[in-house]
Amino acid sequence: MVAASEGEKLATMPAPPSISPALSMPSRVIDTNVSLFHWPFRRLPLDEVNELCAKFQQLGITEVWAGSFEALLHRDLRTVNERLLRACQNREELIPVGAVNPTLPDWKHDLNLCLGRFGMPGVRLLPGYHGYALGDAVFGELLETATKLGGFVQVVIAMEDTRTQSNSIQAPNVDPRALQQWMKQIPDARVQILNCRPSASDLRTFASIPRLTVDTSRVDGTDGVATLVKAIGIDRVLYGSHSPFLIPEAACIRMIETGIPGAEVKTIMQKNAEHFRNSKNPSPQNQQRQGQ
C-alpha cells in the first residue's frame, strides 16, 4: 500500500471556512418552484399537500411558490387554478402561482383571474407541454399583459429529463433565447426560468438577457450553483427545488455544497425571491451590471 501524503491530510482535515458548521439556514427561506397535487405519470412520496408542507417545515422552508401538476395536461385551467388557490388558502406558507396556456382560446381570462381576482403574484407557463415557443407573438402578448397587471412570469424549461419522459407524451426543452427580445421590449417584465439544467451555452444566454432570473432546482454539479452565480450574477439566482417531483433535500444540500459564502446563500434563498416578487423594477445591482 502506498504511503499517506499531503493530499490525504487534505481529505481528513476539518471542513474549510466555506462550509463552516456555523453556517445556518436563513430564518426565512423561499422555495420559488414547487407543484401541488399529482404528477401525471406516477405517485410521488410527497404529493399530498400536508405531507409536503410538513417536509418544508422540517427543512426550514418558510414560503413556497406553488403551481399545479394538473396544469400540464388539463385544458380547463380555471378549475385547475381554483383548486390550487383553495389548497393554498389553508396554508399561509403556500403562495399560489396559477397556470396560463396562451394557445387556448380566451387565455387572457385565465391570466386576469390569476393576477386579479385570485390575487396571485405571478403565473407559471409550460410551453413544452402546451406547444408554443417563446419567440411566438402570443408569448410576448402574454408577458406584456402580465407585466401590466403587475405579475411575474415563470417559464418552465422542462418538467423532467427528456430521456426519461413517457413514450406517449414527450415535451421538448424550451429554448430561452427569444426572451432576449421580449425583455428588451418590455422593460418592466419579470421572468424566472424554472427547471433548467444549464449548459455553458445556456449560461451565456441567461447572462445576456436583461433582468432574467433562474431557479436552482436542476442546477447540478457539485459547484453548479456557484457557477451559475458567477455567470449571471448573485442577484438573479433564486432558490427552487422542483419538489415534490424532485426530492426537496437535493436543492437544499446543494446550497452548502457549492462553497458559496453564507451571505450569498441568504441572498439566493430569501432576498432575491422577495425582491422579484415585490418589485416591478430590476434591482440596483442588476441595473449597474447591465450598464457595464
Partner 1 sequence: MTFGLPPTETLRDYRIWDSYFTPAFSHPGTDGTRDLIKDIERSMTAIQLGHFEKLCYFAHVGIGTTTDPALENLLGTQPQLVLKPLERWPNKLLGMIQLNLQNTKASLEALNQWVKDGPMLGVYFPGSGPGAANCLDPKAIRLVERVSELGGVIMQHTWLKTGGKRSPHESTPIELATLASRYPKQHFLCAHAGGEWEQGIRAVRDTPNVLIETSGFDATAGFIEMATRELGSKRIVFGSHLPSRSMGTELAKIIAAQISEEEKKDILGRNYRKILSGTQSSK
Smaller CB separation from partner 1, 62 or 286? 62
Closer by beta carbon to partner 1, 157 or else 179: 157
Residue that has been written with the C-alpha cell 423594477 in this structure: 281
**Residue 153 CB, nearest approach to partner 1 (Å):** 24
Candidate residues 27, 105, 106, 167; the one interacting with partner 1 per rule CB under 8 A: 167
Asked if 257 and 269 count as a contact pair (C-beta separation under 8 A), the reply is no
Q: Is residue 54 within the footprint of partner 1 (CB under 8 A)?
A: no
Stretch that binds partner 1, among 65-73, 105-113, 172-180, 216-224 (CB under 8 A): 216-224
Q: Which of 50, 89, 166, 208 binds partner 1 (CB under 8 A)?
A: 166
Give the range of 105-113, 126-134, 147-155, 242-250 binding partner 1 by CB under 8 A.
242-250
- For the bound state, the minimum distance from the C-beta of residue 47 to partner 1, rounded and expressed in Å, comes to 8
**Alpha carbon of residue 233 to chain centroid:** 16
In sign, the C-alpha dihedral spanning 200, 205, 211, 217 is: negative
Burial class (CB in 10 A: 0-12, 13-18, 19+), 219: buried
- Residue 240 within binding range of partner 1, rule CB under 8 A: no
Residue 194: exposure state from Cβ atoms within 10 A (0-12, 13-18, ≥19): buried
Which residues, 6 or more positions from 220, have their beta carbon under 8 angstroms from its beta carbon?
A: 197, 254
**Residue of 175, 188, 223, 264 interacting with partner 1 (CB under 8 A):** 223
| Of the candidate residues 48, 93, 160, 188, the single one contacting partner 1 (CB under 8 A) | 160
Residue 266 binds to partner 1 (criterion: CB under 8 A):
no
Quickly tell me which residue has 500500500 as its cell. Answer: 1
Is 24 a binding residue for partner 1 by CB under 8 A? The answer is: yes
Residue 147 Cβ vs partner 1, minimum distance, rounded to whole Å: 31
Degrees, nearest 5: CA angle 215-216-220: 145
Q: Give the strand pairing for 122-125 and 213-215.
A: unpaired
Which residue lies nearer to partner 1 by CB, 3 or 137? 3
Task: Specify whether the CB–CB gap between 84 and 114 falls below 8 A.
Answer: no
Give yes or no for residue 49 binding partner 1 (CB under 8 A).
Answer: no
